[in-house]
Structure 1
Amino acid sequence: MIESSRPIAEVARELGINEGTLGNWCNKYRREHPVSEELNLPERSRLRELERENRELRLQAEFLKKAAAFFAREQQ
């Protein structure tokens, strides 16, 4: 959660916990483990863009794997 840009609500649903609880845990972790090198605004923007693109590409790859498996079953 800390290293990704996934929304707290999404991760909390996956873990089956309250999003407020997870948010508190993340905030506590961030306070106890400050980042030594802060990114400037353009770097943050670019990082978010690359993380979004990475998520999309992972979803596409997952879909293609499922489609290939489906068509492989249909051929048999």
Structure 2
Amino acid sequence: MAEKRRKFEPEFREGAVRIVTETGKSVPEVAKDLGINETTLASWVSRARRTGSAPAGTSDELERLRRENAQLKRDNKELAMEREVLKRCMVLWVK
């Protein structure tokens, strides 16, 4: 037997889209919290982004994220080098 489709108020849709775009939570997380299907929420978010009603992020926020990403990449590279040095030391110590 087919299920009856649920109808959502426009305010609910807008609120769900705002949660995804403003908090940075993933679509699956928000969908689970709100008790709706992931694909439904994903379509609302993509439609809002296409129409321009959902913010893609401010330029200040994007610049902060770029700086943070660059710093994390530098840290990751440094840690990888340290790990390699420790591996080599361990090999020499075991011999």
TM-score norm. by structure 1 comes to: 0.46
Specify which structure has the bigger relative contact order, considering alpha-carbon pairs within 8 angstroms and separated by 6 or more residues: 1
Give the greater-gyration-radius structure (CA): 2
